[in-house]
Amino acid sequence: MIEVGYVSYTVTAERLSEVGADFDSEAIDDAILAELNAKVGPAVEVHRDGKVFADEDTAERAKQINWNELLAAVDIDQLIADNPPRR
């Protein structure tokens, strides 16, 4: 696999403050990462640091991925609900 880009996928502190609690932001970020990787398929992979890698034969297609569109399709509110405040 070769590096083809970067995506900033983590939920912001500002977004978490809107819901008013200390949510498990790491678990939410992991869930977002899992959803992104499920959407782009096995030939493209987003790593935890946001770097995007792709097989050589799909690198050009991977560079064209609209990350904003994919991120907009992630239900952040549901992921926050699925990962309640730490106790």
pLDDT per residue over 34-43, tens digit each? 999 999 988 9
> Would you state the pLDDT for residue 33?
95
pLDDT band at 21 (very low <50, low <70, confident <90, very high): low
User: How does pLDDT run across 58-87, given as a tens digit for each residue?
Assistant: 999 999 999 999 999 999 888 888 877 766
Q: Give the pLDDT mean for 43-52.
A: 96
Q: Which residue reads 């500002």 in tokens?
A: 14
> Which residue, among 34, 13, 30, 33, has the nearest Cα to 22 in the 3D structure?
13
Please tell me the total number of residues recorded for the chain in this structure. 87
pLDDT above 80 (res 27):
yes
Q: Per-domain residue ranges for the chain?
A: 2-82
- pLDDT band at 10; cut points 50, 70, 90: confident
pLDDT of residue 17: 75
Give pTM, 2 decimals.
0.84
Count the Cβ atoms, other than its own, within 10 Å of residue 68: 9
